[in-house]
Structure 1
Amino acid sequence: MTQILDWRPEPGEVVEFELATDRTPVPHDVPASHFQQAHLRLAAAHRAAGRRQSPWVAMVFDLPGRADLDALTDAWQGLVRRHEAFHTWYEPESEDLTGFRLPPGSLTVHPVRVGDLTSTDELRAYVHRRMDEQTWTGRPGLLAGVIRRDTASTVYFAIDHAYTDGHSLALLFDEICSRYHAARSGTPIDLPPAPGYLDCNRRERRRSASLTAAAPELAAWSEFLAVRDGDFPRFPVELGNDADALLPGRRLQYPVLTDAEARAFRAHCARHRGGFGAGAFAALALAQWEFTGNDVYRVLTAVSTRAYPRLLPVHGWLVNLVPLLFRLPASPTFADAIAAAQQGFQRARAGYDVPLHRALELLLDGGDVPSIPPMVSYVDGRAAPGSRDYLRANATVLTGPDNASGVSMWFNWFPDRADVVASIPDTPEATAGVPKYLDRVREIMLTASSGARRAS
């Protein structure tokens, strides 16, 4: 995961893939999801205030040699017709976020040559500007392009975050590669229709309507909020942002474990009734206890709402934040913390389909949610389609410049390593304190992994 300001693309010939249709969009009546509403309205507020923003997530990866434009055009056209996220959308400037759709068969893709960009800085600035421009138009918010070179070509694409999550990006990497190689070889590719995200939005709305403040499904939320009278968790070190303002952020990326160390770490966690994710949360909690003496660990954690196998191919933002809470025993060991974290995560995960915004609306006066809630995510990226090709393809996720009020962290386990990325407020206090905390978290995980490897 790389901030676009840190991306260093090699110069080359830039070609973009323009999406067109000869049909007029027609309204649809499916409301936006809670997260989509929050995202789109925040983006609209930034635009109204004249603030530049990058409300997208993106991916870049390499293809060998000089990319075949006909094959890439064919790949993108097949993809945008297959996924509902590219022919339905919500109008971001309308008060009620009116939904629109297009017939998928009306979408066509055409390559447009931009020209040779000979400077890395010029190229990065161009791609950044185009991503910002193309992904907030309301219509299918997609920018796709390629930087062509004789030795290797870099594909880039960005999508409004309202219509995509990390799982969806991984699907696009695998699908574009598969479609491209099939088109080049003349081999037919037969992919089944993909379910659409609008059905997921309908289910979320029905779920929201079924909830009341007394619903048992909100018990975990009630306990989570009761710890600090409705406040969200404070980070264990000083951040220099007592007002919890949304500040310019910076990105820290830490290698945590090699793949062999990660497998040993998981084996250690399994011996203590937990998984890799529970071990990461246990290390965070134990470091918090050492830094502050606080034995109650609370954090929002990301979970997928793809509850059934048939939803795995859906392209959209199918992620929720759930309340993880557990208490460490007296004089805790790491083994104690793993078991407690696993129990806490299982309880939190059971509420995967309780929308964050609806829970807070019911339990808090006003139901205010931070525009970017601090959270911790764990993803086993080894299971993603095409993940074995990430290294060969130099694939990485790009994000816009960070904004942060607190600290958000993403633990990712890839085929070659496990790492953690942290988004923090760009303050002297956070810059000094957060690395010390993460160093201790990494030390706890490495010690457990080393012990497990010696024992084996």
Structure 2
Amino acid sequence: MVPFVDLDLPSGRVIEWVLRPSSKADSATVAIEATKRPSFSQELYYHFIEWHSRRHEGRQAIWLATTVEIAGNINLDALRTTFRHLVIRHETLRSEFRMNPDPDGTQGLFGLLQCDVLHPDAVVFEETELGVFDRVEPLREALLDRIDKTIDTNKGPVMLMGVVIGEEKSVAYIICDHLVTDGFSCAIKANELGTIYDATVADEPVELPEVGSYLDYTTQEYVDEEKVEPEDPRIELWRGFVRRNGHVFTEFPVELNTKKGEWHPALLDVIQVLDSYEADAFERMCRARSASVVSGLLAVDGIALHEIGGADVLRVVMPIAQRRSSEWQNAVGWFVNIVPLEVPLAGVDKFTEVLAGAHKAFRTALTAADLPVASLFMHLGTQYLPLNSFFNLKPQTHFSYIDYRKLPGAAHVERWNQTMVMGVANTSDARTWYFRTHEGIFMFNDFIDTPRAREVLAAYEAGVRRVLTEVIDLTPVAYSKPEAELAQVPRAAHAESPRKQPAATTAPAGATAARRHIAGRSRVMTTRPGVFTPIFMIKDLGGVGRVKDTPEL
């Protein structure tokens, strides 16, 4: 895991492609194959970005990029064929969004947006030579500038494809607005990009599993929403959460000294919290107590925040992937719902007790994983919609976890060196994602960039690492860490000993200078005006497995 500025790009020639309907050049071509309804999440995001773009300067939208390395000389014709194959295979990648001209039959906000799917025969790729770059840094600047000027949530296009052609290797990339992709989908695109390209170059059939369309998933989502009754247990779970929390969404539990609804430049930071041996030991410890890694990290997260801010309960929303059906396992889209989590912390002085509460909270939350997002606002009140009171919250937070070792393409990372990049320029959030690769477990934070937020973030990250160290260091579950590395492991209090009392809300002195260790290298937490792009390398992930109701970006 490295920041965007450390992405291993070669210097060289850059070529890009933007998807366009060919009817703009040939009126005889019927461009639209079908008009469908986008998902509830897509509608919320689309209107949210439009709303805030009118009220705040700078970029509010989020983009997600996938890159794949191609060794040796690039075959541009094969790459063009690969991009076309991907676009035809996944409807959502050849979709355009527009407002519904006839609002009759809509449900408030939902139903106002329509999705036009371009016919495969009506798709053309507009090719642009971005230039030849002798140095990597100007190349990066040109790429980032191109992304900001091209990707547009509300006007389109929502996808940009390209390749950096170097002497010894090339890097192909697909950049999508969050509107049409999630983190799981980035791994799918990387895997299929490599698979299709290799088969095309070898003049062999492309072997990929059958796949469904995300837009068919969204159709079913509307059917499911109509079946939800006010007394549905999933609604009751959310109703209780909102009553205790005051909102569907959750604020970061430590004061960041910012006003409600304020947007700031984004501060993105990644640290490694456990190496691979420690991650294995942590997992065994959690499972020995009938819990999971997700529950364990939730417990650790709660303890760290409790010690900084003193909150008695960790209340947080968690994104959950919805890919239970086999037809969605390899589909590209935004297959994510949200669930409410409440972890008790007051009066609990042992990690195992917090772990038990976290696991119970997680299992309870999963019972609402398949509740359509729209149902929350239909039954709990439209005052909680992102277009209403959302901007009256202080920095919003969430907790997320994804295991990259289980995603498609994990077996090919040595050859393709796939990466995932997330771009955020401005934010009103303080969000946390945990990721696991074969190298260990990492913590990624997307925070507002203010002096106070930097102090709190440094204390937060240090707290998570310290709690994990205490839990791993003296846990009775043994793990086979190499002897050469054992001497480097710091010793701490026993995992079963009483936890320390909550610290003052001010971060420890010098916290802002804390070093970040990313993939074996030490870095200082930094930001860059205008563009903030951490990268998650889907690298050396081990075996491939199926993921069903799993947390996801």
Task: Name the one with the larger helix percent.
Answer: 1
State the shift of 1:108 in Å. Answer: 4.6
Give the 3-state SS of the residue equivalent to 1:331 in structure 2. Answer: coil
The equivalences for 1:23-102 within 5 A come to 23-26=29-32, 28-45=34-51, 48=54, 51-53=57-59, 54-91=61-98, 96-102=112-118
**TM-score, normalising length: structure 2:** 0.76
State the shift of 1:17 in Å. Answer: 3.1
Give the 3-state SS of the residue equivalent to 1:287 in structure 2. Answer: helix
For 1:196 and 1:146, the matched residues in 2 are separated by: 26
| Aligned residue number for residue 17 of structure 1 | 17
Q: 1:301 to 1:11 in 2, by over 3 A?
A: same
Q: Among 407, 417, 423, which residue is 2:430 paired with? A: 407
State the shift of 1:88 in Å. Answer: 2.7
| Aligned residue number for residue 427 of structure 1 | 450
| Aligned residue number for residue 268 of structure 1 | 285
Q: 1:366 to 1:182 in 2, by over 3 A?
A: same
For the 8 Å contact 1:16–1:114, the answer to whether it is kept is: yes
| Aligned residue number for residue 224 of structure 1 | 241
State the shift of 1:122 in Å. Answer: 2.8
1:113 aligns with 2:136: no
Give the 3-state SS of the residue equivalent to 1:352 in structure 2. Answer: coil
Letter in 2 for 1:86: L
Q: Which moved more, 1:183-192 or 1:295-304?
A: 183-192
For the 8 Å contact 1:267–1:452, the answer to whether it is kept is: no
For the 8 Å contact 1:91–1:139, the answer to whether it is kept is: no
1:382 aligns with 2:405: yes
| Aligned residue number for residue 122 of structure 1 | 138
Q: 1:360 to 1:451 in 2, by over 3 A?
A: farther
1:307 aligns with 2:324: yes
For 1:119 and 1:292, the matched residues in 2 are separated by: 46
State the shift of 1:215 in Å. Answer: 2.3
| Aligned residue number for residue 451 of structure 1 | 474
For the 8 Å contact 1:46–1:52, the answer to whether it is kept is: no
The equivalences for 1:196-215 within 5 A come to 196-215=213-232
Give the 3-state SS of the residue equivalent to 1:17 in structure 2. Answer: strand
1:219-265 deviations in Å (ceiling 9; x for gaps): 22122112233374342432121424232210111111111211111
For 2:399 and 2:427, the matched residues in 1 are separated by: 14
For 1:227 and 1:381, the matched residues in 2 are separated by: 34
State the shift of 1:401 in Å. Answer: 3.0
For the 8 Å contact 2:252–2:396, the answer to whether it is kept is: no
Q: 1:350 to 1:89 in 2, by over 3 A?
A: farther
Letter in 2 for 1:399: M
| Aligned residue number for residue 166 of structure 1 | 183
Q: Among 153, 158, 173, which residue is 1:141 paired with? A: 158
1:280 aligns with 2:289: no
For 1:31 and 1:93, the matched residues in 2 are separated by: 10
State the shift of 1:50 in Å. Answer: 8.4
Give the 3-state SS of the residue equivalent to 1:98 in structure 2. Answer: strand
The equivalences for 1:272-421 within 5 A come to 272-328=289-345, 330-364=347-381, 366-369=383-386, 370=390, 373-390=396-413, 393-421=416-444
| Aligned residue number for residue 181 of structure 1 | 198
Name stretches of at least 5 consecutive residues in structure 2 with no aligned partner.
23-28, 104-111, 480-553
Aligned Cα root-mean-square deviation (Å): 2.7
For 1:231 and 1:188, the matched residues in 2 are separated by: 48
Give the 3-state SS of the residue equivalent to 1:227 in structure 2. Answer: helix
- How many residues align? The count is 456
The equivalences for 1:245-256 within 5 A come to 245-256=262-273
For 1:25 and 1:273, the matched residues in 2 are separated by: 54
For the 8 Å contact 1:58–1:159, the answer to whether it is kept is: yes
State the shift of 1:296 in Å. Answer: 1.5
Q: Which moved more, 1:218-227 or 1:356-365?
A: 356-365
For the 8 Å contact 2:405–2:438, the answer to whether it is kept is: yes
State the shift of 1:210 in Å. Answer: 2.6
State the shift of 1:388 in Å. Answer: 4.0
State the shift of 1:72 in Å. Answer: 1.0
1:27-47 deviations in Å (ceiling 9; x for gaps): 845322221112212333455
State the shift of 1:16 in Å. Answer: 1.7
For 1:231 and 1:333, the matched residues in 2 are separated by: 30
Q: 1:452 to 1:70 in 2, by over 3 A?
A: farther
Q: 1:314 to 1:394 in 2, by over 3 A?
A: closer
Percent sequence identity over matched residues? 25
Name stretches of at least 5 consecutive residues in structure 1 with no aligned partner.
none
State the shift of 1:48 in Å. Answer: 4.9
Q: 1:166 to 1:231 in 2, by over 3 A?
A: closer
Q: 1:437 to 1:55 in 2, by over 3 A?
A: closer
For 1:219 and 1:451, the matched residues in 2 are separated by: 41
